[in-house]
Structure 1
């Protein structure tokens, strides 16, 4: 498999992770649309600010107190957004993080003490910030600590039952829920990095294998051509017939080298069932179709031509399901069958779309010709009431290529 193929697979895999022009989980934003999506997601949690905002607007206070409260609330929200926007995925400067935490926590305590129980919801944002940014060990004691301080502040104006029932339990649940989200974000990032590393290592391995194959194929031939060319050059003035024989040998060796290179390149380009199965899972999942696809190809496979025919059939069938069927479910299965013509491997692709017994188009016609060329047969029809079924059977090793059963 070439390096380009691995790049295509990496793009397909990212598509499954949600790597569209919107904000992706665990990945920094890169454009305005992603920024807007992330802002809306974070903005949903600002609902807990309705109580302090209403208190600022409706409570009868001195003007200076209202202004200070508004400034303090603005600074608190700025600290919160700084933490969740910049430090959820990676922390480069822990001093800035702890300074933001200190400022956020201090503002929550001062504002709740100064303006009353309507401002206790600010502690929820402190717990969210702790769970989203701090490591799990530190968050495990910091969240209960923040909740404890909130209870102490709330007891100035409310009873213990009211404080526990209204916000204390919620504060704990939201804080620890964010620690789970944080771990999920970190795991997603590590998985994406590991996947990219594996793809790069596999591409490097394929590059090395291609270099070894080309060296094995062409090294001897080119060396022989060089030696015979030098020999023909020395023989040409005195022995033209011998030089002509060397030139004929050079032509024969070069033709054989060309045949070997073409065979090697065709081997790199041929379709395999393992690769097409992976592509089928990717395509069906990206299209929102529930797919039942084998994780691996069958242990017993046809020869290269037969496997390539099955791979092309699988690709064509999955493409039709994704583009035309409108299906919700798709099933791919392999079955080894014993027929009058010998053992055969059957590929069956079924969906529950609107295909029915459709007429054969150019794709199916070409596919039938490709399957017939390797001694196999193709069958299409309805799958259940509405779906479409495609079955392809090709000979297995040891089968006599003849008319299909």
Structure 2
């Protein structure tokens, strides 16, 4: 959970969260006005008034502990007992001090929705609403006054259960997403390990064998030993090529990932992103060409975020004949003169994929980058 972020149904983890949650708690505790008014209007004897103030203080203290206190597993049963005690206190106060005290059951219902498991909350919250209705009828409340108590008790508790359940679901989804990402990373590591094992196992075994043969042939058969050394050089060069291909495949970015990263980076920099015309997954786009476009997108977005001062960035992916064109346009300061090392390296990377790079001012100012790579139908022609 992000630091400082308050979630209903979870205890505050630091002082900032405690202050924020206390502010919200005291805000909706203003409904206790009716109870305070009942105690300050000389409706009871001095003894009953003193008992009422003590009961109110005890109720508020218990309620604040349920809302703001930490919730270790070992205290779950005690907190449930406290919740039951608040229910009995509210019912007793309503029966002895008057109908104004029935409002305390609304807070008990809300606490039940937050504190109890869903299967128990679905039973307890309606039971509390029925208790409110019964006490209201006992005190002779009218229909409107009764609904003003029953509906908050029922809907407030139900809303808290829904919010708490949603928070739990969101936490589970975050944990599942983190697990999936971890498993995907592990699977990719295993794939690379398998590829390297398959690529190097045979090559290194062959190199070892031929090295032993060359050693036995020297000095009696120098020509045959030289042939074995030549074979060792050929096998080692091929192994080096295979390893580079495996590692480049492991590190090759994809358009899907870079588009998602571009949206996040631009949003974090306060740049409005228009990606409606950017859709990855072209059927005729080979992996190497896709990797080159992904690098181009990464470099372009990095330049927009760091150097352009732009407020808006538009990203497009569209076919241009037998090529796929990536266009990144911003409304920033525009070209600054000579190409930097990033754009120079990007042009070289696109050249290796038989692509090309075009940069210059945008149609309405700013800077525009266009990266072209060939589609497979042109490559195979």
* Same topology, TM > 0.5: yes
- Report the 3-state secondary structure (helix = DSSP H, G, I; strand = E; otherwise coil) of the residue aligned with 2:182: helix
Tell me the distance in 2 between the aligned counterparts of 1:332 and 1:298: 15
Tell me the distance in 1 between the aligned counterparts of 2:73 and 2:259: 39
Q: Which moved more, 1:21-30 or 1:131-140?
A: 21-30
Tell me the distance in 1 between the aligned counterparts of 2:368 and 2:46: 75
The 5 A counterparts of 1:303-322 are: 303-322=286-305
**Equivalent of residue 356 in structure 2, options 371, 376, 388:** 376
Q: How many residues align?
A: 373
Q: Which residue of 2 aligns with 1:203?
A: 185
1:152-187 CA distance string (max 9 Å, x none): 333454522243243222222222221221221121
Structure 1 residues 100 and 167: alpha-carbon distance in aligned structure 2, compared to 1, 3 A threshold: same
User: Is the contact made by 1:375 and 1:394 (CA closer than 8 Å) also made in structure 2?
Assistant: yes
The 5 A counterparts of 1:337-376 are: 337-338=320-321, 343-350=322-329, 355=332, 357=334, 359=336, 362=340, 365-366=343-344, 369-370=347-348, 373=351, 374-376=354-356
The structural deviation recorded for 1:205 is 1.0
The structural deviation recorded for 1:264 is 1.9
Q: Which residue of 2 aligns with 1:224?
A: 206
- Report the 3-state secondary structure (helix = DSSP H, G, I; strand = E; otherwise coil) of the residue aligned with 1:121: helix
Q: TM-score, normalised by structure 2?
A: 0.80
Tell me the distance in 2 between the aligned counterparts of 1:389 and 1:114: 77
Q: Which residue of 1 aligns with 2:52?
A: 69
The structural deviation recorded for 1:80 is 2.9
Q: Which moved more, 1:278-287 or 1:185-194?
A: 278-287
User: Is the contact made by 1:101 and 1:126 (CA closer than 8 Å) also made in structure 2?
Assistant: yes
User: Is the contact made by 2:11 and 2:70 (CA closer than 8 Å) also made in structure 1?
Assistant: no
Q: TM-score, normalised by structure 1?
A: 0.76
Q: Which moved more, 1:161-170 or 1:22-31?
A: 22-31
Structure 1: any 5+ residue segments left out of the alignment?
1-18, 401-405
Structure 1 moving runs of 4+ over 6 Å: 90-93
Structure 2: any 5+ residue segments left out of the alignment?
none
User: Is the contact made by 2:12 and 2:70 (CA closer than 8 Å) also made in structure 1?
Assistant: no
**Equivalent of residue 143 in structure 2, options 161, 176, 182:** 161
Q: Which residue of 1 aligns with 2:371?
A: 392
Instruction: Tell me whether 1:80 sits opposite 2:60 in the alignment.
Output: no
- Report the 3-state secondary structure (helix = DSSP H, G, I; strand = E; otherwise coil) of the residue aligned with 2:113: helix
Tell me the distance in 2 between the aligned counterparts of 1:141 and 1:236: 90
**Equivalent of residue 90 in structure 2, options 108, 115, 119:** 108
The structural deviation recorded for 1:214 is 0.6
1:313-345 CA distance string (max 9 Å, x none): 322343455555563x6553321122xxxx111
Q: Which residue of 2 aligns with 1:140?
A: 122
1:188-223 CA distance string (max 9 Å, x none): 012112111211221121121011101111100111
Tell me the distance in 2 between the aligned counterparts of 1:103 and 1:281: 52
Q: Calculate the aligned-residue CA RMSD, in Å.
A: 3.7
Which has the higher relative contact order, 1 or 2, with Cα contacts under 8 A spaced 6 or more apart? 1
The structural deviation recorded for 1:261 is 1.8
The structural deviation recorded for 1:225 is 2.0
